[in-house]
Amino acid sequence: MNVTVAQDRIEATGAPSRGRKLVVIGNGMAGCRAVEEILARDGTRFDVTIFGAEPRVNYNRIMLSPVLAGEKTFEEIVINGQDWYDDNEIQLISGDPVVGIDRAQKHVVTRSGRIENYDTLLIATGSDPFIIPVPGKDLDGVFTFRDLDDVDKMLAAAEMGGSAVVIGGGLLGLEAAHGLSLRGMDVTVIHLMPTLMERQLDEAAGYLLKAELESRGQTILTSANTKEIVGKDGKVSAVLLEDGTEVPADIVVMAAGIRPSTGLAKEAGLDVERGILVDDHMVTSDPDVLAVGECVQHRGLCYGLVAPLWEMCRSLADYATDSPTGYGGSVTSTKLKVSGIDLFSAGDFSGGDDAEDIVLRDASRGVYKRVVVKDNRIVGAVLYGDTADGNWYFDLLRKQEDVSDIREALIFGQAFASGGAALDPSAAVASLSEDAEICGCNGVSKGQVVACIDGGAHSLDAVRSTCKASASCGSCTGLVESLLALTLGADAVDSGPKTMCKCTSFTHDDVRGLIVEKELKVIPQVMQELHWTTPDGCSSCRPALNYYLLCAWPGEYVDDEKSRFVNERLHANIQKDGTYSVVPRMWGGVTSPKELRAIADVVEKYEARMVKVTGGQRLDIFGIRKEDLPHVWGDLNAAGMVSGHAYGKALRTVKTCVGSEWCRFGTQDSTGLGIQIEKMTWGSYMPHKFKIAVSGCPRNCAEATIKDFGVVCVDSGYELHVGGNGGIHVRATDLLCKVETEKEAMDVCAGFIQLYREDARYLERTAPWVERKGLDWLKAALFEDPQTVKTLAARFRYSQKFWQDDPWEKRAGGHNEKLHQHLAEVRPLALEKA
């Protein structure tokens, strides 16, 4: 270090002075912008010296992503070239970072020992990348994505090809991933949260983004927690996740977030919390020290985006030139800089009591828009696929303009909302020409739809089946409904079958059909493609969708636990006091001393309050606490017992009588057949609970004729009954058919169950289903083609390969143990001492 030389240089540049000395730490966007703003107000007030840690002029950091992607060069993202510094007589000291601030002496010291005095100091140190503290974070090949050096290193690495892992699915991480992917690397993004960019996007938009990135060849792992970066010979070789997955990696980019860079300020004794504390004029706890940009904390907030920075710099410059205005905080908006993906998010889109969501989903165009309105003012917006109106919404949001006049058409964007007559949607439809296209999927014009309505199609469903308008993606449903109302008068429209819930205009049957037809495989995809009007559904449609998807895509669909009713989530029945009851499976109602002993032990050990024989010949253990459930299951599993699914929309029990083995009237082995049937059907999920019984003779001791599927053994074989119910509306079964062998009885059972699983509406038991569809329909559906039962039974057995596993076993082994544990426990000291 050569202090003397440095001091010489100060003297050489020190005179002639124009005035007060302004020293800026940070040659980034905030520091330079602040100087620009000050110069614009008063070019003679300060002698300016700017210190930059990077050995280059001021450039646009947010454009590093296009540089990485090869869409821009460094020259193109320079904001102020050397000319600017020269013309404004600004001394730029780059590549020699400031390492200390002496507030008493009012000077700063650099790494090389240079000392620079100031009258006013401006700290604009920005932020540092957040390095997640995992083993291997210091290995060769682990990069951050913050400055041009990082980009250069990544580009050099990308030239070798291979695979890259980006940790962090936020704005920065996705932009890094995009760049590396365009540079030819195999990219995997690892994101801790279930939704990409969860701070800017809701689940629906996050889903669309994920699907788009995956279609571009990136691998996106959400809900993935990095455990370790694995190295070989000091260099990165893979990333290991908490769940044991190992993703090979030649380079790893940490883009998990940023932290205000406050080290210098802290050491200098300035007030620092998360960021350097500043007032509305960007003044720190020392009146001679200002701070601006990502390093500051203003009114409790730190910003990591560029727009607030411009506003801060204006306020700072006003203050520094003696015309203080004051900065009041910023409303921010975000755009993702990945070519071909239009994504915009602004304000608060988390809704609220009096907030109203306006959602538009246009699946055929891949558009999702959500505008949140509160007290007639926009408070937030998320746009995906079509962001043309982003700025317009953002403007309305910032100005807090009253949107009640344009409320109806708000979601359609500026052109529509501002277009006078178009404000009334039905007037808009009325004014359409006869040949205007209504349904893009099926090419149906307004004239054709009206003709179809005039021809007698007086409901949405009738229109759909007659001229096919709105029968595919459904995005024109609103238009067709308007046409119905216009043509028939609003009162004359037959509303048709009830929709699944308030979140959709589709019926259960439509949704089921479209899931299969359009190959929809996850809940957010269904909601997007079928134009759900709520962001994440409701407690009525979510469990139904979860069931429809698991039925349609066995082996493929991943069960969504948060869309399950508590009983199915905790594999036990919730009771009125918040405790649970547990029913272990007893095949065909048969038990053993070992099982009875295990149940008795569980009852005592966990202080269960009652054991009761159920109507389906099983034992129900009452009064178990949520925390104890995994242990109860563990103990029952140890005795060889599995879950009875007594809590599920699932096969519950197969009730039997003793049959030919013991009974003097028994004609067949009803107990044995019951056990076989239960072994075939247990674990299967259904639209509703499902009960089976096998009676050994027509005396019907197992009450098989009030079950969903009943077998009555007779001398010549087996009578198979369906659609019985012992519930509120008692219904005796209909006789479906008679078969000669156990094998045939089992096949028909499997075939019938699968037909019910695939056709009935969620929460529709077999009794109302059979009545709705008719026995003739059912017989035809099963037996018209001799192959049908076999095909259905094969589909059922295939699905059973995935669902016939004991949910208790996994939980007893610790899977999802969070569900059973409290987050923490509060023990007030006052009470503890007492």
Partner 1 sequence: MPKINDVGTWLDIGPATQIDPGTARTIPVQGGDEIAVFHTMRGEFYALVNKCPHKQGPLSEGIIHGDSVSCPLHNWRISLRSGEAQGDDVGCTPTIPMKVDGGRLFLLREAVIPAPKAA
Stretch of 135-143, 187-195, 443-451, 784-792 contacting partner 1, by CB under 8 A: 187-195
Q: Which of 15, 421, 728, 831 binds partner 1 (CB under 8 A)?
A: 831
Q: From the CB of residue 107, how many other CB atoms can be counted at a distance below 10 Å?
A: 18
Q: Which of 228, 536, 744, 764 binds partner 1 (CB under 8 A)?
A: 536
Q: What is d(CA 538, CA 773) in angstroms, rounded to the nearest whole number?
A: 28
Angle formed at CA 644 by CA 643 and CA 650, multiple of 5 degrees: 110
Q: What is d(CA 263, CA 268) in angstroms, rounded to the nearest whole number?
A: 9
Stretch of 53-61, 528-536, 692-700, 715-723 contacting partner 1, by CB under 8 A: 528-536
Q: What is d(CA 827, CA 661) in angstroms, rounded to the nearest whole number?
A: 60
Q: For residues 486-525, which are near partner 1 according to CB under 8 A? A: none
Q: Which CB, 272 or 697, lies closer to partner 1?
A: 272
469: its two tokens: 């308008």
Least distance from partner 1 to the Cβ atom of residue 745, Å: 38
Q: For residues 217-256, which are near partner 1 according to CB under 8 A? A: 223
Stretch of 151-159, 536-544, 691-699, 738-746 contacting partner 1, by CB under 8 A: 536-544
Judging by beta carbons within 10 Å of its beta carbon (0-12, 13-18, 19+), is residue 520 exposed, middle or buried?
buried
333: its two tokens: 């908006």
Q: Is 827 a residue that touches partner 1 (CB under 8 A)? A: yes
Distance of CA 115 to the CA centre of its chain: 52
Q: Which CB, 30 or 359, lies closer to partner 1?
A: 359
Q: Packing angle between helix 766-773 and helix 775-783, nearest 10 degrees?
A: 90
Q: What is d(CA 742, CA 499) in angstroms, rounded to the nearest whole number?
A: 41
Residue 657 is assigned to a ligand binding site: yes
Stretch of 55-63, 348-356, 595-603, 770-778 contacting partner 1, by CB under 8 A: 348-356
Contact 507, 474 (CB under 8 A): no
What are the residues facing 545 on neighbouring strands? Answer: none
Nearest to 140 by CA among 206, 236, 60: 236
Helix (H/G/I), strand (E/B), else coil: 815:
coil
DSSP code at position 272:
B
Q: What is d(CA 127, CA 289) in angstroms, rounded to the nearest whole number?
A: 18
Least distance from partner 1 to the Cβ atom of residue 564, Å: 8
What are the residues facing 685 on neighbouring strands? Answer: 650
Angle formed at CA 693 by CA 689 and CA 698, multiple of 5 degrees: 145
Q: Which of 464, 508, 512, 542 binds partner 1 (CB under 8 A)?
A: 542
Q: Is 195 a residue that touches partner 1 (CB under 8 A)? A: yes
Q: Which CB, 73 or 350, lies closer to partner 1?
A: 350
Q: Which of 142, 192, 213, 599 binds partner 1 (CB under 8 A)?
A: 192
Q: Which CB, 232 or 827, lies closer to partner 1?
A: 827
DSSP E strands in 657-796: the ranges are: 690-695, 709-714, 717-722, 734-739
Residue 313 is assigned to a ligand binding site: no
Measured in residues, the chain has a length of 834
Q: Is 111 a residue that touches partner 1 (CB under 8 A)? A: no
Q: Which CB, 225 or 364, lies closer to partner 1?
A: 225
Q: Is 824 a residue that touches partner 1 (CB under 8 A)? A: yes
Site string for partner 1, 138-177 (x = CB under 8 A): ----------------------------------------
Contact 293, 124 (CB under 8 A): yes
Stretch of 9-17, 20-28, 146-154, 558-566 contacting partner 1, by CB under 8 A: 558-566
Q: Is 818 a residue that touches partner 1 (CB under 8 A)? A: yes
Least distance from partner 1 to the Cβ atom of residue 832, Å: 7
β-bridge pairing 258-260 and 355-362:
unpaired
Judging by beta carbons within 10 Å of its beta carbon (0-12, 13-18, 19+), is residue 355 exposed, middle or buried?
middle
Residue 378 has, within 13 A of its CA and on its CB side, a CA count of 28
Q: For residues 273-332, which are near partner 1 according to CB under 8 A? A: 274
Residue type, 463: V
Q: Which CB, 8 or 561, lies closer to partner 1?
A: 561
Angle formed at CA 73 by CA 67 and CA 76, multiple of 5 degrees: 110
Stretch of 115-123, 390-398, 456-464, 564-572 contacting partner 1, by CB under 8 A: 564-572
Q: What is d(CA 185, CA 141) in angstroms, rounded to the nearest whole number?
A: 14
Nearest to 704 by CA among 659, 744, 643: 659
Q: Which CB, 10 or 193, lies closer to partner 1?
A: 193
Q: Which CB, 186 or 294, lies closer to partner 1?
A: 294
Q: Is 198 a residue that touches partner 1 (CB under 8 A)? A: yes
Q: Which of 535, 630, 672, 724 binds partner 1 (CB under 8 A)?
A: 535
Nearest to 128 by CA among 146, 151, 140: 146
Q: Is 821 a residue that touches partner 1 (CB under 8 A)? A: yes
Q: Which of 18, 20, 111, 199 binds partner 1 (CB under 8 A)?
A: 199
Stretch of 194-202, 428-436, 634-642, 794-802 contacting partner 1, by CB under 8 A: 194-202
Q: Which of 26, 52, 260, 537 binds partner 1 (CB under 8 A)?
A: 537
Nearest to 7 by CA among 89, 107, 149, 126: 107
Residue type, 530: L
Residue 701 is assigned to a ligand binding site: yes
Q: Which CB, 658 or 819, lies closer to partner 1?
A: 819
What are the residues facing 301 on neighbouring strands? Answer: 298
Stretch of 30-38, 344-352, 451-459, 795-803 contacting partner 1, by CB under 8 A: 344-352
Q: What is d(CA 478, CA 459) in angstroms, rounded to the nearest whole number?
A: 13
Q: Is 203 a residue that touches partner 1 (CB under 8 A)? A: yes
In order of 40, 69, 651, the CA distances from 54 in angstroms are 25, 21, 67
Residue 697 is assigned to a ligand binding site: yes
Stretch of 277-285, 482-490, 702-710, 820-828 contacting partner 1, by CB under 8 A: 820-828
Q: Which of 156, 415, 492, 566 binds partner 1 (CB under 8 A)?
A: 566
Least distance from partner 1 to the Cβ atom of residue 761, Å: 18
Q: What is d(CA 318, CA 276) in angstroms, rounded to the nearest whole number?
A: 20
Stretch of 17-25, 234-242, 330-338, 557-565 contacting partner 1, by CB under 8 A: 557-565
Q: Which CB, 139 or 193, lies closer to partner 1?
A: 193
Q: Which CB, 208 or 748, lies closer to partner 1?
A: 208
Angle formed at CA 132 by CA 127 and CA 134, multiple of 5 degrees: 155
Nearest to 298 by CA among 321, 262, 270, 274: 274
Q: From the CB of residue 826, how many other CB atoms can be counted at a distance below 10 Å?
A: 6
Q: Which of 95, 162, 194, 329 binds partner 1 (CB under 8 A)?
A: 194
What are the residues facing 188 on neighbouring strands? Answer: 165, 219
Q: What is d(CA 568, CA 574) in angstroms, rounded to the nearest whole number?
A: 10
Least distance from partner 1 to the Cβ atom of residue 64, Å: 25
Size, binding site for partner 1 by CB under 8 A: 49
Q: Which of 175, 202, 635, 719 binds partner 1 (CB under 8 A)?
A: 202
Q: What is d(CA 787, CA 720) in angstroms, rounded to the nearest whole number?
A: 18
Stretch of 394-402, 571-579, 711-719, 749-757 contacting partner 1, by CB under 8 A: 571-579
Q: Is 814 a residue that touches partner 1 (CB under 8 A)? A: no
Contact 463, 470 (CB under 8 A): yes
Q: Is 578 a residue that touches partner 1 (CB under 8 A)? A: yes
Contact 306, 62 (CB under 8 A): yes
Q: Is 728 a residue that touches partner 1 (CB under 8 A)? A: no
Residue ranges at the known binding site = 657, 663, 697, 701
Residue ranges at the known binding site for siroheme = 701
> Which parts of this chain interact with partner 1 (CB under 8 A)?
192-195, 198-199, 202-203, 223, 274, 349-353, 357, 534-539, 542-543, 562-567, 569-570, 574, 576, 578, 818-819, 821-832
Residue ranges at the known binding site for [4Fe-4S] cluster = 657, 663, 697, 701
